[in-house]
Homo-oligomer: A and B are copies of this chain.
Amino acid sequence: MTAASTPKGERRRQALVEAAAELLVERGFDAVRHRAVAERADLPLSSTTYYFDSLDELVVAAVEHHGRTELVRGAELLAALPTQPRAIDSLIDLVLDQLLGPHSGDRDAELVLLRYERLVATFRRPYLRPLMRTLGAELRGLLLEVFTRSGIELDPRRVEQLIALVDGAVVNALIEIDPDPRAVARRMLHEFLAP
């Protein structure tokens, strides 16, 4: 049924989605369980199945919520970005900010890696693929605009390579004793953009 249209219902529904998104980002897909979500949202267990026919449905909502939130942030960032030539380092920071999210201090490595854990886990959840494609396409759009505003015209093939390079750098960073995926990606991008 997927109920809720009144303000109150909508609020509770939203609370569940947010709780689920938090769990997803902090601890991965496996942490998004009825019990955990309900507890975090401080709502009864059965409210989770009242608002969402299945756990999958809730997961989709959580992924979408998180993805949209990130895109909004990315777009805002972009909107505030003056159009002007840019030093390579500052450009790379902008790119990484879009692709890996904002730098988050101590937990940066963890959060970045969780991002890829999420991405890979998508494979097991084919129903997420359309959503992920949409979000991915929008992200790519933002990325292109970053370059345009920096006075650089990148051909699409280079953009694909750039993204793959960052993603590959991150998953490779995993095996380090003390991984710093953002730094590895930065180095990689540097070599790619200014060889």
The interface of chain A, by Cβ under 8 A from chain B, is 28, 113-114, 116-117, 119-124, 126, 129-130, 132-133, 136, 157, 160-161, 163-169, 171-172, 174-177, 179, 188, 191-192
Contacts and interface: CB of A to CB of B under 8 A. Distances in A.
A97 to B, nearest CB: 18
Among A121, A123, A129, A192, the most chain B Cβ lie within 10 Å of the Cβ of A123
Contact of A188 (B113, B119, B160, B188): B160
The complex is assembled from copies of this chain, and their number is: 4
A22 to B, nearest CB: 18
A119 B160 contact: no
Question: At the interface, is chain A mostly helix, strand, loop or mixed?
Answer: helix
A188 B174 contact: no
Nearest to A165: B164
Contact of A123 (B122, B133, B174, B191): B174
Given A164-B164, A172-B167, A177-B130, A191 B122 contact: no
Given A161-B191, A169-B164, A177-B130, A117 B113 contact: no
